[in-house]
A and B are shown apart, each in its own frame.
Chain A
Amino acid sequence: MSDNKIGTPLVEITGLSKWYGDFSALYDINLTVSSGEKVVVCGPSGSGKSTMIRCINQLEEHQVGTIFVDGREVKPGMKNIEEVRRDVGMVFQSFNLFPHLSVVDNLTIGPMRNKGISKAEATEIAMHFLERVHIAEQADKYPPQLSGGQQQRVAIARALCLKPKIMLFDEPTSALDPEMIAGVLDIMIELAEDGMTMICVTHEMGFARKVADRIVFMDEGEIVEVAEPETFFNNPSTDRSKLFLSQLLGH
């Protein structure tokens, strides 16, 4: 995949640091993701992977450093943060579908409320993306009636309905039963092949190897290594990434 045409910088993170009280959650993160690029973020739990990508759409507020999304700086307490968020699709570990809305309403609410488009038009967009995640026949059901894998695919479709410039995946398969994981990963691979810019926090190393342009390895709130998948898996340059990979692949 690395021969993809990679364009202008879409997300630029410079000197990003974040503390919870005195605990340093992120320290001096520097990362630029260009349009069309697929970046997989991995690392042991508690290493700040999720926190980092959640700073990009300000679900978490950082204290030091700058983040630019498509040329606009995002910072804590900013006005109109929702305008930036509309360009950034996010998929959560726990799906976070709206349980009181039907599947199709989960998808239409964003476009209808954010862009003021009609229900008919929003439904058309919604059905298009539901078909894309192979779940159009469940449109009228409610999220709790679906399996975890189906819910996560709806969540991906919901994020796509906003026509985002970049998609953030926060451990999208970690809460799924093993037999559900492949379906979700397939959708993500299709998305990558269509040229979507993606930052994925995941433990799915097979997916990372297949899709990623770069692997970002984090530990204890810092970026330890950034490398192409081949290099990272076959010839990691730091002891920490070696240890991580051996623990991950060793059994």
Chain B
Amino acid sequence: MSKDTHIDTTDNDRRKRPALLFDVAAYLRTLREISIALITFTIIAWLIWRGALAMEYNWQWYRVSPFFYRIVDDEFIFGPLYWGLLKTLKLAFIAGILAIIIGFITAFARMSNSRAGSNIATFYLEAIRNTPLIVQLFLFYFVLAPIFGIDRFWAGVLCLAFFEGSFAAEIIRGGIQGVDRGQFEAGDAAGLTTYNKYRYIIVPQSMPLILPPLTGLLISLIKHSAIVSVIAVSELTTTGLNLISDTFMAFEVWFIIAGIYLTLTITLSIGVGQLEKKLNVASSSNRS
């Protein structure tokens, strides 16, 4: 009901919530959980260190900084990992945008009354979801790329876009079908064209349903982008492979590569988490 219901302040004073006492038991419980986690991580780290020692692995962490940057004659030069990371970001960014566009087109084609549209969309979804990603990549690189004259970077981008686009399509379709039927009817009854109905009424309301799973999709897109290393697109993973063949520092390089991916994806989830919180605040102020 009405949000601005008048609250009787005197009554609220009388019914004041008591201040919470410091809960010692809960504090000790938290402390115990944290120590268990710390001990587990320590044990794992120790096992890795001991295993590496047993195989007489020569840790050379002091050699990794040039992977990121070097300073030659007072000049700052970016290292290979920087360029690899940049390529990965570019790859994921373009593929992500294309995937969302493909997702919207496919979702609407599937929901449309057009038999051709929904058949083509369904065929695309089934084809993508029932073949291995790496086989799709080879198809794009060895078959489509020469036919259409596209380079390996764009073959990788398109392959990832079509792969993730198929999942985006189902997320978007789910979000749109999650909007209350009455909203479609109200849009129709208001005489809106189909385009305006979706543009101003349905899609905005489906966003809170679409955004969280779509973030998950973008995160997996960043991870899946590593696969284009098999067609030698010079992104992060390819850079890692090259560094290892140059330096034989397999342990350090893979730890670093994994760390970079982890940082990327966690940053993205935190960022979108904040955005969602904002969205929720905005939409919950509408629902009291």
Contact = CB atoms under 8 A, between A and B. Distances in A.
On whether the two chains bind one another, the answer is yes
Interface of A: 57-59, 82-83, 85-86, 88-90, 92, 94, 96-100, 109-110, 113-114, 142-147, 158-159, 162
Interface stretch (B116-124, B200-208, B236-244): B200-208
B192 A142 contact: no
A90 B189 contact: yes
B192 A100 contact: no
Interface stretch (B6-14, B178-186, B213-221): B178-186
Interface string B83-126: 00000000000000000000000000000000000000000000
A73 B283 CA distance: 41
**Those 3 A-B pairs whose CB atoms lie nearest each other, nearest first:** A86-B191, A96-B186, A96-B182
Nearest to B194: A82
Contacts of A57: 188-189
A82 B186 contact: no
Interface residues of B, number: 25
A50 to B, nearest CB: 11
Contacts of A94: 182
A57 B200 CA distance: 21
B192 A114 contact: yes
Which of A85, A98, A147, A158 counts the most chain B CB atoms within 10 A? A98
B191 A114 contact: yes
A90 B188 CA distance: 10
B278 to A, nearest CB: 14
A85 B205 CA distance: 23
Contacts, number: 75
Contacts of B204: 100
Nearest to B288: A145
Nearest to B199: A113
Nearest to A85: B191
5 contacts: A85-B189, A88-B189, A109-B200, A113-B200, A158-B190
Contact of B182 (A88, A92, A100, A162): A92
Contact of A99 (B2, B188, B200, B205): B205
B277 interface: no
B177 interface: no
Contacts of A144: 286-288
A51 to B, nearest CB: 13
A114 to B, nearest CB: 5
A113 B189 CA distance: 13
A156 to B, nearest CB: 12
Contacts of A96: 180, 182-183, 185-186
Contacts of A99: 205, 286-287
B3 interface: yes
Contacts of A83: 191
Q: Which of A85, A100, A143 has the most CB of B within 10 A?
A: A100
A94 B184 CA distance: 13
A107 to B, nearest CB: 10
Contact of A85 (B2, B190, B201, B288): B190
Contacts of A142: 285-286
A234 to B, nearest CB: 35
Interface string B252-288: 0000000000000000000000000000000101111
A160 to B, nearest CB: 12
Given A94-B182, A96-B182, A145-B2, 15 more contacts: A82-B188, A85-B189, A85-B190, A85-B191, A89-B189, A92-B182, A96-B183, A97-B186, A98-B183, A100-B286, A110-B191, A113-B193, A144-B286, A146-B2, A159-B189
Nearest to A148: B1
Contacts of A145: 2-4, 286, 288
A98 B179 CA distance: 11
B247 interface: no
Interface in B3-37: 3-4
A142 B201 CA distance: 14
A159 B185 CA distance: 13
B185 A92 contact: yes
Given A94-B182, A98-B183, A113 B205 contact: no
Contacts of B191: 82-83, 85-86, 110, 114, 162
B42 interface: no
B1 A147 contact: yes
Contact of A100 (B4, B186, B188, B283): B283
A82 B1 contact: no
